[in-house]
């Protein structure tokens, strides 16, 4: 999801189903959030990164934010969330560190 301040596509998102069988991969550009739900037990998520972790660029918004409207295909009450994701703000309250430079 685009979180670059001033971007004409701010708040827009897309989705894809990825599996070992279909080989789909996603490139997440700077200024975009990503999230995932696993549909099978013992699923491994592998990240390829172009640089070291930058804490000041780490952030999250609520996965179940009604203004975003993502249907994750699961009961939100059954979601297992990290502490960071559990405490995440709504998108309207999120202060993005990224600026659109179009």
| CA neighbours closer than 13 Å in the CB half-sphere of residue 33 | 27
Q: What is the pLDDT of residue 55?
A: 87
Q: What is the pLDDT of residues 27-74, one digit of tens each?
A: 999 999 999 999 899 999 998 989 999 888 888 999 999 999 999 999
Evaluate if residue 99 carries a pLDDT over 90.
yes
For the chain, give every domain's residue range: 1-95
Mean pLDDT (whole number) for 1-12? 98
Return the pLDDT at 83. 95
pLDDT of residue 102: 85
* φ/ψ bin of 73: left (φ > 0), alpha (ψ from -120 to 50), beta (otherwise): left
């Amino acid at each position: 999801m685009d979180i670059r301040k001033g971007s004409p596509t701010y708040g827009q998102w897309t989705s894809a189903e990825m599996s070992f069988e279909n080989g789909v991969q996603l490139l997440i550009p700077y200024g975009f959030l990503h999230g995932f739900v696993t549909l099978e037990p013992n699923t491994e998520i592998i990240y390829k990164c172009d640089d070291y972790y930058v804490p000041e660029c780490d952030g999250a918004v609520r996965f179940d934010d009604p203004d975003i409207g993502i249907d994750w295909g699961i009961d939100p009450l059954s979601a297992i969330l990290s502490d960071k994701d559990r405490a995440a703000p709504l998108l309207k309250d999120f202060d993005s560190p990224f600026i659109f430079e179009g």
